[in-house]
Amino acid sequence: EFETAIKVVVVGNGAVGKSSMIQRYCKGIFTKDYKKTIGVDFLERQIDSPGPKRNNVQQSAQACVLAFSTVDRESFEAVESWKKKVEDEVGEIGMVIVQNKIDLIDDAVVEPSLIILICLEINILQKEAENLAKRLRLRFYRTSVKDNLNVEEVFRYLSEKYLEQ
């Protein structure tokens, strides 16, 4: 087994859970590097791979999480522009769309009639997110950083995708 480090960039609107995701995944071993031009969080974590050791001379991100929040439609609408920003900066890299805070779906402590509306809205958003992922040809994950749901899977997928190249 060889060790490889890949640099993953997590982007998305404010408060979608980027820092929390990085913290969750890296369990404390994270550096919050402010890249002024696009304002993103960087993380590095060693992964084991059966492939040959690679040189990581390249400084820029090698994979990217495009994150939005279940309870913030605007953050979903910004996903495509985040993708463009990253591609303008580092070129084509492995990417994934992540809908975070899915724990909030069951969390609606409001009137029953409002719950139905919220559920409808969330269903529509989910469908739209699936369509966007299809159109952009990206894998789509739903996560809850709070409940530690699917976070590992996102980064594992990006690592595997990177090593396949």
CB of 161 to ligand GDP, least distance (A): 23
User: Six-digit token pair at 123?
Assistant: 């269903």
**Number of other CB atoms surrounding residue 70 within 10 Å:** 25
**Exactly one of 11, 18, 62, 94 binds ligand GDP (CB under 6 A); which one?**
18
- 16 contributes a contact to ligand GDP by CB under 6 A: yes
Residues of this chain, 49-108, that bind ligand GDP according to CB under 6 A: 100-101, 103-104
The contacts found for 155-160 with CB under 8 angstroms, 24 or more apart, are: 155/8, 155/25, 155/45, 157/96, 158/6, 158/8, 158/63, 158/64, 158/65, 158/94, 158/96, 159/6, 159/47, 159/49, 159/63
CB of 15 to ligand GDP, least distance (A): 4
CB distance 24 to 153 below 8 Å: no
What are the backbone dihedrals phi and psi of residue 55, each rounded to the nearest 5 degrees, phi first? -85, 130
- 145 contributes a contact to ligand GDP by CB under 6 A: yes
**Exactly one of 2, 3, 5, 15 binds ligand GDP (CB under 6 A); which one?**
15
Residue 4 vs 11, nearer CB to ligand GDP? 11
Residue 4 vs 144, nearer CB to ligand GDP? 144
CB of 67 to ligand GDP, least distance (A): 7
In the shown chain, the binding pattern of residues 101 to 140 toward ligand GDP, with x for contact by CB under 6 A and - for none, equals x-xx------------------------------------
How far apart, in Å, are the Cα atoms of 32 and each of 22, 74, 113?
9, 24, 42
Residues in touch with ligand GDP (CB under 6 A): 12, 14-20, 100-101, 103-104, 144-146
